[in-house]
Chains A and B, each alone.
Chain A
Amino acid sequence: MNTDDFISMLATGVKPVDRHVQFKRFAQAIIVGGAGSFILMVMLFGIRPDIGTMLVTPLFWFKMAFPLALATGSLLVLTRLSRPGARIGKRWIAPATPVLVIWIAALAVLAAAPDSERLNLIMGFSWRRCPFNIAILSIPTCVTITWAVRQLAPTRLRPAGAVAGLLAGSVATVAYCLHCPEMGVPFWAMWYLLGIVIPAVLGAVAGPWLLRW
C-alpha cells in the first residue's frame, strides 16, 4: 500500500476523540486496583483490630500520608511519562519528597531514642514479611495500572514501567497500612519503602516489553 492510500485509509471515517481518556483510565485503574488490594488485604491479613482508635491517632495518619503522597507524586510523573514528548523536568521532586520526609523523620526518631530501642524501632516485629506482603497486595494495582498505561503512549518504557510500579506499590501500601500494626517511623521508612520498591524494580525490568506499542 503506498503512503497516500495509507493516509486516506487512516483519515477515512475518523471519529471525534475523547480528550479525557488519560484521566479516566488512571482513575479507573487506581479505583479498581486499590479496591482489589484492599479486598486482598482483608482476605489475607485482615484489618487491624484497633482500627477504631487508630482513626483518631495522628501518628496513624502520618503513616497513611507517606504512601498517599508517594502515590500522588508518582501519578504526576506517570501521567507525563505516558504521553509522548511531555517533559518531566523537576517533577521528579514530587515522588522524592515523601521519601525524604519519612527518612528525615525516621532519623530524628532514632536519634531521640535510647540505644537499646533503636534496633527494635527499625526491625519492628514483622520486617521479614512486610515488604513481601506489600508486593503481594500490589498485584491488582500492577495489573490495572499497566492496563491504563498501555492505552496511552509511553515512549520511555523503562522509566514508565518503574514509575507505574511505584504507583502500584504505593496504592497497595495504603491498603496494607489498614492491617499493619507497626507504628515505628523508622520501620516504615525501611520496610514499607522496600515493599514499594519491589514492584518498581519489576516494572523497570518488565516495562520495555509490557508497555511496548
Chain B
Amino acid sequence: MKRLIEKAETEPGMSVEERLKVLLLAGLDGNENAYHAFLNELSGRLRAYVRKRLFHLHDEVEDIVQETLLAVHNARHTYRTGEPLTAWIYAIARYKLMDFLRMRSRHDAFNEPLDDYVDIFSTCDEEPANDAKRDIGVLLEQLPDKQRLPIVHVKLQGLSVAETAQLTGLSESAVKIGIHRGLKSLAAKIRLFS
C-alpha cells in the first residue's frame, strides 16, 4: 500500500483517476499525506472545471473550489471503493456549482462583487495592531461561537485544529468548517463596512 501511494505521488504514468483513487483510499484509512496530495491535485482539477463554467465570475472561482473541497471532505464517507471516482467527484462539484448559481440568482440584488477575502489573515503587520485587533474583535463578536472560537484559537492564537477541538469541545471537522464559514462571513462583513 505504502509503495502504491508513493508511486501515485510521483509516477506520471498513472491516469488521473487511478492516482486520485489510490490517494483518496489511503486518506480514508487515515493517511494524512496521501489525503493532502489528493486534495491538492483535486483542487487543480476543480479550479479548471469551475473556471471553464464561470469565466464571467472570475472572482468567485476560488470560493467555489474551496466550497467543493469542503463538500468532498464532508462527504468522503459516501465514496465506495468499486465505483468510478470521477462520477462521484463530478456529482459533488456539479451540485455545489448549481447550489452556488441558484443562491446567486436568488440574492443577486444584495450581491456585491466578492473581493478577495482570502488574504485577510495571511499576512501580519504588528504596527497598527491595536486598532486592527480591536476592529477584528468587534466583527468576531458578531459570529456564532462555533465559528468565532475556531478562528480565535487557530487563526489568531495559532493553536492547532486538534488543540482547538479539545479546548472547545467541538469536533475537528466542526473546527475546520467553523474557520471556513467564519472567515467567509467576516469577509462579507468587512466588505459591508468598507
Contacts and interface: CB of A to CB of B under 8 A. Distances in A.
Q: Do A and B come from one complex?
A: yes
A153 B94 CA distance: 13
B40 interface: yes
B100 to A, nearest CB: 12
A155 to B, nearest CB: 4
A131 to B, nearest CB: 33
Contacts, number: 116
Residue among A5, A21, A153 having the largest count of chain B Cβ atoms under 10 Å: A153
Contacts of B69: 3, 6-7, 10
Interface stretch (B13-21, B76-84, B104-112): B76-84
Interface string A75-112: 00000001111110000000000000000000000000
A12 interface: yes
Contacts of A14: 27, 30-32, 35
B88 to A, nearest CB: 4
Interface string A1-34: 1111111111111111111011000000000000
A10 B70 CA distance: 8
Nearest to A157: B95
- Chain A: number of interface residues, binned into ranges: 20 to 34
Contact of B92 (A2, A11, A153): A153
A19 B176 contact: no
B16 to A, nearest CB: 16
B78 A9 contact: no
Contacts of A12: 32, 160-162
Nearest to A84: B91
B99 A11 contact: no
Given A12-B32, A13-B162, A86-B87, 9 more contacts: A1-B179, A2-B118, A7-B36, A7-B69, A10-B69, A84-B91, A85-B84, A153-B71, A153-B92
29 contacts: A1-B118, A1-B121, A2-B118, A3-B62, A3-B69, A5-B122, A6-B69, A7-B69, A8-B36, A9-B176, A10-B70, A10-B176, A12-B162, A13-B162, A13-B172, A14-B30, A17-B29, A18-B77, A22-B78, A83-B88, A84-B87, A84-B89, A85-B88, A85-B89, A87-B87, A152-B75, A155-B95, A212-B99, A213-B74
